Each structure stands twice: as structure tokens, then as C-alpha cells.
Amino acid sequence: MGTIPSHLVQRIQQAADILGNCKRVTILTGAGISTSSGIPDFRSPESGLWEKYSPLEVASLATFRYTPDIFFHWLHPLAQIIIDAHPNPAHIALADLEKSRRDITIITQNIDGLHQKAGSTHVLEVHGNLRTLTCVSCFTQQLAEAYLDDYIKNRTIPKCPLCDHILKPDVVLMGEQLPARTWLKAQETSKHCELMIVAGSSLEVLPVAGLPMRAIENGAHLIVVNKSRTYIDVRADIVFHENVAEILPMIVQEVSCENH
């Protein structure tokens, strides 16, 4: 641990000790875990997605129903960034952690698919993803890959091949319910885990923000890694207000060293 700043050494060790003693681990990730991959978060000053746009104006279910072109115009540059993005050390560390014979579940608020790109397999995408599209009329689901090229190059709004109505990306918009089965699984894994790690989430969006409370109320340890403060910091075993792409790999590496 010689390369770790001295003020972090003790807390890294403490976090590794907790993680090393827990078999059922749930990691709740938010936009902050993907900023090091070049994907902007939502609330950072100047660079956050909501600094330039109001979510109710561009990313709400009402906007999509009545003026879908506004949504697709807003999504276009973000979709290109997500397509080009690669997992960063935090994503890779969590994928490596899954190989350690622990029961690892990732609950992510992100739609970028970077956890899967890194190799994680137990991922609950509570806010959906961009891999599939669903027709707003006949509800047929299509793979997004067939439409991405035309959308990125020509801004062509995807249409259903069966009824010619608009295809909606399978992401959860403002005012839209979370996918029921995924949400139930997220609640269950939060309730039964021994440790929850909050990684890169400001915990400001309900109902997902309530999951850490569910975990600790059922006796779980809690580690928070997020640049800004969260409401649950006061209940956590350990809190890091540092870059998650730097801290998570250090914790996982320390656990790996202890196991050998």
C-alpha cells in the first residue's frame, strides 16, 4: 500500500477488512462510477447533464409521449459517448471481486452497460439500459444495435418495423416506474446482504436512494465511496469522499493481498 496517500491507508485497510469478512455483498453504483470513463454525471457543477437541461423538459415520460424528438435530440450526444466508453478501474475491480467466490450483486442506476463490459454478470439495472427498444404502440421489443448506426449518423428516430410507431429506449424516464422484477430483486439483495458499498451515487433519486437504509436496518455494514456527501454518511462504517475509480481498486486489491 506504499502508493496510497497516508491519510487513506487506515481507511482502505478498514474497508478491506470489512469486505474480506463478508460473503454476501451488494454494490450500489451511480453516475459517479462512470465519470472516469468519460460519461458525465447529472449534478456536477458545469459538467453535469442537468446543468444545461431540465430533466422534466428532456427526459420525462411526458416529454417522450408528446414531443419524442426533444428526447432523442438530447440523448444523441450522450448515446455516442456511451457507445465509445470503456470500463474504468472501478468497473474492473468490481468484476474482479465477483471472481473471489463471494455472492456479489451490483445494483446500478446507470444505463451505460459498463459493468457488463468489464465482466460483471450479476447486475441489476434499475434504471434500464440502451441495449433494447420497445414500441410505444404494440410493445414489441427490438435490439437497439440494429438502429444505432442510423440514429448516430443521421439522427433518425427509430420506428417499429411492425407498426411504424416510435421505439422507446428501455431506460427509465422521469415519471416512469422502475422495472418491477429488477426492482424486487434489488430490494431483496439489499435486505439480505452483509455489506453494501455505495459507489459513485449521491443518493438523491428515490426509490433507489432508500436501499442503503434497508441494508443497514437489517444489520449490514455500509461503505460509502462518493465525492460529495450523502444522507447516509452518518450511518456508514467508513466514508470516502474521493474518486471511486481510485478508491475501489485499492480496497479490492487489499482484499486480494490479504487472501494470499
Tell me the CATH number at 77: 3.30.1600.10
pLDDT at residue 6 greater than cutoff 90: no
Which listed residue (115, 127, 165, 192) is catalytic? 127
- Mean pLDDT taken over the chain: 90
Number of domains the chain contains? 2
Mean pLDDT, residues 93-105: 90
| Chain position carrying cell 411492425 | 162
Choose among 122, 120, 108: nearest CA to 31: 108
| Whether 260 is catalytic | no
Residue range 68-74: average pLDDT? 91
Q: Does residue 159 sit in the same domain as residue 64?
A: yes
How far apart CA 247 and CA 112 sit, in angstroms, is: 21
Same domain, 195 and 244: yes
Percent of all residues in the chain with a pLDDT value above 90, rounded to a whole number? 79
Pairing status of strand 103-108 against strand 141-143: unpaired
Predicted pLDDT of residue 259: 63
Read off the CATH number of the domain in which 251 is found. Answer: 3.40.50.1220
pLDDT for 207-250, tens place per residue? 999 999 999 999 999 999 999 999 999 999 999 999 999 999 99
Query: What is the per-residue DSSP string for 96-157?
Result: HHHTTTSEEEEEE---S-HHHHHT---EEETTEEEEEEEETTT--EEETHHHHHHHHHH-PP
Q: In sequence order, which residues have a C-beta less than 8 Å from that of residue 196 and are 6 or more positions away? A: 25, 26, 27, 28, 190, 211, 212, 215, 216, 220, 221, 222, 223
CB 30 within 8 A of CB 110: yes
Which range marks the domain in which residue 79 is found?
A: 40-84+128-171
- Asked whether residue 68 falls in the same domain as residue 157, the answer is yes
